[in-house]
Structure 1
Amino acid sequence: MLRVDRVVTSGTFSLDGGTWDVDNNVWVLGDDDECLVIDAAHDAEPILAAVDGRRVVAILLTHGHDDHLGAIEALATATGAPTALHPADRDLWDMSTPVAPDRDLADGDVVTVGGVEVRVLHTPGHSWGACCFVVPVLGVVFTGDTLFAGGPGATGRSFSDFPTIIESISAQLLTLPSQTVVHTGHGDDTTIGAEAPHLAEWVARGH
């Protein structure tokens, strides 16, 4: 039976000359035999503990910010799993990671783990290559830094745009069933139904 495990790792995020302390959610989705990892933040060891010897089908990146891929080389080496990133975030990836990703992600791609389909949604805005991963059979979506409990991800730095993230959330995420559980890149879970009524507030507030 498929299950979702959350690993919280701590480190820093650096961009545009600034550095901030952050706690990241890393998600491990799979059954008793195989799994996939969503993001590879900061420290490979606790992620490997959650993998617990299972075959890792892939390491999927929600986007290319350094706090989401700091452990990517160590995790890929330890598991032998291919890494996957949307090519629009390759510039961000290259700022912190010398080895190229193994695969490109594209909107509509499907990755299978434990016999269950995980669908890729390209959701630019927080970064140009940001992606979310929806698992319809489980009623969950992994949103990285695109959507949080309380609103959209930040768009005040390079490689980001507020109107674009609003369009991505509106078209790709708020169209999911309202009971869909949102597993975020930082902080607590939410649901599509909890966030959808606040779209107009986010637009009025701007970022």
Structure 2
Amino acid sequence: MTYSGVVRVGGPADVHELTDLMISKVAVGPMDNNSYLLRCRATGEQLLIDAANEAPTLLRLVGDDSIASVVTTHRHGDHWQALAEVVAATGARTYAGARDAEGIPVPTDVPVEDGDVIRVGRVELTARHLVGHTPGSIALVYDDPHGPPHLFTGDCLFPGGVGNTRDDPAAFVRLIGDVETKLFAVLPDETWVYPGHGKDTTLGAERPHLPEWHARGW
């Protein structure tokens, strides 16, 4: 079945099957957050991105193989409501951006800096520190050796714009600058984008709109 990236709260996960990695996307309420389960196909090791809410839903998705780690993309509460329960059930290591860790009530085992590598089995994810939505938001880049890159952006990049900077012009300038220099400038148009809420997109679909995002200021 072809992956669409379209999921709904209470509905099934959608699975993107890559050569070395399986990506399962599920939506959880009440704020329609996306959580992503990554599974290394060579080793079976699993990693969860954003234990946002509905711990029973996430633990069913994880299954009997459990998870080795959970990455929280940023400190906002809708992205970690299920984190304590998921960690208690699985014993997973916790990762978060070093500058956001203090705002997450579950202890962060591994504070993440820009350029750090997080492994799930034989697969490597590179963290990119993006400032503006929060001080320590991170995106994760999987540079697939068999195809285009895959990019997990939390709330820093969506179809149609960057994340909410709460009418703070300086925060918007910082966020769009980081998104342009650390993502658009170095990754190809074919890069698949998995955001923290809503539908997926690609960098190519969003790139032509960068000037209008600058002009409108959000």
The verdict on a shared fold, with TM-score over 0.5 as the criterion, is yes
User: How many pairs does the alignment contain?
Assistant: 192
Alignment correspondent of 1:198: 209
Deviations 1:23-64 (A, max 9, x none): 100001113521100001111111111111224121001101
Alignment correspondent of 1:121: 128
Q: Could you tell me which runs of 5 or more consecutive residues in structure 2 were left unpaired when the two chains were aligned.
A: 1-19
Deviations 1:169-195 (A, max 9, x none): 101111211100000000000001111
Deviations 1:84-133 (A, max 9, x none): 1112113432xxx2x42111011111112131111111111111100000
SS in 1 for 2:165: coil
Query: Are the equivalent residues in 2 in contact too, given 1:152–1:166 (CA < 8 A)?
Result: yes
1:55-204 aligned within 5 A: 55-93=66-104, 97=105, 99-137=106-144, 139-156=149-166, 161-175=171-185, 176-204=187-215
Query: Are the equivalent residues in 2 in contact too, given 1:2–1:114 (CA < 8 A)?
Result: no
Alignment correspondent of 1:16: none
TM-score by length of 2: 0.83
Q: 1:58 to 1:84 in 2, by over 3 A?
A: same
Alignment correspondent of 2:17: none
Q: Could you tell me which runs of 5 or more consecutive residues in structure 1 were left unpaired when the two chains were aligned.
A: 12-21
In structure 2, give the amino acid aligned to 1:25.
N
In structure 1, give the amino acid aligned to 2:52.
A
| Structural RMSD (CA) | 1.6
Alignment correspondent of 1:5: 24
SS in 2 for 1:193: helix
In structure 1, give the amino acid aligned to 2:164.
A
Query: Are the equivalent residues in 1 in contact too, given 2:139–2:154 (CA < 8 A)?
Result: yes
Q: Distance in 2 between matches of 1:157 and 1:127?
A: 13
Q: Distance in 1 between matches of 2:120 and 2:102?
A: 29
Shift of 1:157: 7.0
Whether 2:39 is the aligned partner of 1:30: answer yes
SS in 1 for 2:179: helix
SS in 2 for 1:50: helix
Query: Are the equivalent residues in 1 in contact too, given 2:52–2:81 (CA < 8 A)?
Result: yes
